[in-house]
Amino acid sequence: MAEFPWLTFIILFPIAAAVAIPLIPDKDGKTVRWYSLVVGLIDFAVIVIAFYNNYDLNEPGLQLVESYPWVPQFDLNWSVGADGLSMPLILLTGFITTLAIMAAWPVSLKPKLFYFLMLAMYGGQIAVFAVQDMLLFFLVWELELIPVYLILSIWGGYKRLYAATKFILYTAGGSLFILVAALAMAFYGDTVTFDMRLIAAKDYALNFQLLLYAGLLIAYGVKLPIFPLHTWLPDAHGEATAPAHMLLAGILLKMGGYALIRMNAGMLPDAHAVFAPVLVILGVVNIIYAALTSFAQRNLKRKIAYSSISHMGFVLIGMASFTDLGMSGAMLQMISHGLIGASLFFMVGATYDRTHTLMLDEMGGVGQKMKKIFAMWTTCSLASLALPGMSGFVAELMVFVGFATSDAYSSTFKVVAIFLAAVGVILTPIYLLSMLREILYGPENKELVSHEALIDAEPREVFIIGCLLVPIIGIGLYPKIVTQIYDATTVAVTARLRDAVPTLGKDAPLAALSSQAAPDLAPRTN
């Protein structure tokens, strides 16, 4: 038990600060934005202090654990903790959200409400990664959706109500599977508990695990997102503002990947053995389908949105690899894409503020007039296409090598999956570089180039992109900066998954092995 309630403070402080916003005397929004930025910086500083002083890199289990009775009648406790799966994503959340608050500087419509929602999201997002009670997890997962819905529906584009409604229907609909699974797991067996550690240790029958896994895969597949549950994302990104973009791409998508590893793989290892080939296939489909669809997009926001869907396919392949390296690559891909996705969507917002268009056909030839914007766009795009020396390259390479060296699949299955995923990797630089050409080079739009709003990047924008590029390049050059945070935990998760498949090492597809060995796959307990 931690002496100071670090995680409780980190979660509740921005929420409490948000509640105080209506009391701030402010007419033009300048005071409230500085107030929100200071709150964000303080909370991020506390996250870093808690990590630096109280987190043991060699401990695979939960740390910073706190548990307080909340609703004893339902056995609902305020139970939080952090391990290698959650700690790096808590750090990422604090970092990205603080920068998103700074990116929201131009917001002038209802600034108090906007920053109230931003700070409420801050605490809600960290809670998703920190809570260790299954029912509490469902509650914070649901509550976190409300600020996103309001930000989309009030500050979005022309089709904002359609995009916000679609977002809430998809994500809230998927959340019902979380509630059903939480109740089923809690009441299974002789004891009733919502504690995730006790739930993971229960002796589930294989068929019951398969039902739970399928339901949770749908719920978290919506948020990741996995084809064909992805269609809300391009619409949401197409109508969102730059700060909302940064939170959607940088943090919200990572909730799906985190929950899949935490619950599907960590709590239901026998079912994961059966579903693993399906995850690989879905990952490959995500990579290729979204990359090809991105080619056809003439709207800049939608083009980047589909690139996000493509990159998330590597998370599925990595978590289905049954290797330490593949699982580590899946985690690193989530962190890397959080940084790269936030930088790209911030650049989209900065470009729209100047050109007042998102259509690539209406752009062109602005590179000479906005040289800093040109440099930032180019660097962020190179990071997204996995240029060596940047974080995306290391993450995707780890996934490829981890899957290629797995003994869970036949050689044929691995070769086909790796070849198809590699095709998606090749498509990525093609559509990203062609996008750069259409924005910055090519035939000049005379009316656009002569526009007075085409001013170069201001110091605030350079600072935000600089803050994002430092970890992107740092991880690319020395990945151990991040991998050492979660390696102990991911190795433990992978070991439990391998224990669930006694036939690993035979040169046969895992799907066939799982179906043949299903009667012998006795559920494992920790």
Greater confidence (373 vs 515) lies with 373
- Predicted local distance difference test score (pLDDT) of residue 128: 95
How far apart, in whole angstroms, are the C-alpha atoms of residue 48 and residue 65?
A: 17
Residue 413: the pLDDT is 92
d(CA 161, CA 154): 8
Alpha helices in 189-323 (DSSP H): 196-200, 206-223, 232-239, 242-247, 253-259, 266-267, 269-296, 300-319
**Contact (Cβ atoms closer than 8 angstroms) between residue 480 and residue 473:** no
pTM: 0.92
- Predicted local distance difference test score (pLDDT) of residue 511: 44
Buried b (16+ CB within 10 A) or exposed e, 162-171: ebbebbbebb
What confidence category does residue 106 fall into, taking pLDDT thresholds of 50, 70 and 90? confident
- Rounded to whole angstroms, how far apart are CA atoms 90 and 59? 17
Query: What is the SS3 string spanning 366-408?
Result: CCCCCHHHHHHHHHHHHHHCCCCCCHHHHHHHHHHHHHHCCCC
At residue 108, the pLDDT reads 84
Side chain identity, residue 106:
P
Average pLDDT over residues 326-350: 94
Provide the sign of the torsion angle of the four alpha carbons 360, 366, 372, 378, taken in this order: positive
The pLDDT of residue 523 is: 36
What's the pLDDT score for residue 190? Answer: 83
pLDDT at position 521 over 60: no
- Asked whether residue 520 carries a pLDDT value surpassing 60, the answer given is no
CA atoms of 362 and 402, how far apart (whole Å):
43
pLDDT-derived band at 69 (thresholds 50, 70, 90) equals confident
Percent of the chain whose predicted confidence (pLDDT) is above 90: 62
Looking at residue 449, its pLDDT comes to: 60
Average pLDDT, the chain: 88
Q: Is the pLDDT of residue 17 over 60?
A: yes
Q: Which carries the bigger pLDDT value, residue 13 or residue 439?
A: 13
State the first-to-last Cα distance of the chain, in angstroms, to the nearest integer. 21
375-412: pLDDT as tens digits: 999 999 999 998 999 999 999 999 999 999 998 888 89
pLDDT of residue 242: 87
| Residue 36 · residue 16 · CB < 8 Å | no
pLDDT per position as a tens digit, 174-229: 899 999 999 999 998 888 888 999 999 888 899 999 999 999 999 999 998 998 88
Residue 71: predicted pLDDT = 80
Closest CA relative to residue 42, chosen from 130, 111, 127, 101:
101
Distance between CA atoms of residues 255 and 223, nearest Å: 7
Q: Is the pLDDT of residue 163 over 80?
A: yes
pLDDT for 452 equals: 64
How many other C-beta atoms lie within 10 A of the C-beta of residue 210? 18
Cβ proximity of 29 and 39 under 8 Å: no
Side-chain half-sphere exposure of 374, counting CA atoms within 13 A: 14
Q: What angle do CA 289, 290, 293 make, to 5 degrees?
A: 85
Q: What is the dihedral of CA 395, 399, 404, 405, to 10 degrees?
A: 90
pLDDT in tens, 79-93: 999 999 999 999 999
Q: Where are the domains of the chain?
A: 6-504
The tens digit of pLDDT for each residue in 216-247 reads 999 999 998 998 888 898 888 888 888 988 99
Question: Which token pair is 95?
Answer: 């970092």
Residue, of 290 and 453, whose pLDDT is higher: 290
